[in-house]
């Protein structure tokens, strides 16, 4: 249980740090791009999407590690123990959809819930960031 908690903590912390750095770099890059202001917003959107996908893959690798090591629980249902199945499960949890043909059992369930909460926070952080960037770009028009 302690090992699962520590792994969960590392995955969440790593995802939040990646997101922070991605948004920080985007806030520096967006004003420097010498294209129309509307296109600058698109640079921000695509940059944020890339950051989210990287974070989802991090959680996916965390699930893959947990299902392949004893004591963490398992993923059941339409699950073939592949990295892609773990990333698919991660996409559904990160986006807080939470429904799937794959079901978490054991301690891994905590990570599934924690990922949904983390995804919700990071998606809303991105929305706030993009709102502020859009205001800056449209003000400079």
| pLDDT tens digits for range 70-89 | 999 999 999 999 999 999 99
pLDDT of 94 = 95
Q: Is the pLDDT of residue 141 over 60?
A: no
pLDDT of 114 = 94
Helices (H), the chain: 2-32, 37-67, 83-94, 108-139
**Helix (H) or strand (E) run with residue 77 in it:** strand 74-77
Q: Within 13 Å, how many C-alpha atoms sit on residue 60's CB side? A: 18
CATH fold of 2-139: Helix Hairpins (1.10.287)
- Comparing 4-13, 18-27, 46-55, 130-139, which segment has the lowest mean pLDDT? 130-139
Q: Helix or strand or coil: residue 101?
A: coil
Higher model confidence: residue 100 or residue 51? 51
User: Taking the domains of the chain in order of start, what are their residue ranges?
Assistant: 2-139
């Amino acid at each position: 249980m302690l090992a699962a908690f520590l792994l969960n903590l590392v995955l969440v912390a790593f995802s939040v740090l990646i997101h922070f750095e991605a948004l920080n770099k985007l806030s520096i890059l967006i004003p420097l791009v010498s294209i129309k202001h509307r296109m600058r917003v698109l640079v921000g959107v695509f940059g944020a999407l890339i950051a989210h996908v990287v974070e989802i893959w991090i959680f996916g690798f965390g699930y893959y590690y947990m299902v392949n090591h004893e004591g963490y629980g398992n993923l059941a249902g339409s699950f073939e123990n592949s990295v892609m199945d773990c990333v698919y499960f991660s996409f559904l949890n990160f986006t807080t959809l939470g429904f799937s043909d794959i079901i978490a059992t054991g301690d891994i369930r905590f990570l599934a819930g924690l990922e949904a909460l983390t995804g919700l926070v990071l998606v809303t952080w991105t929305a706030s960031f993009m709102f502020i960037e859009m205001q800056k770009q449209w003000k400079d028009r």
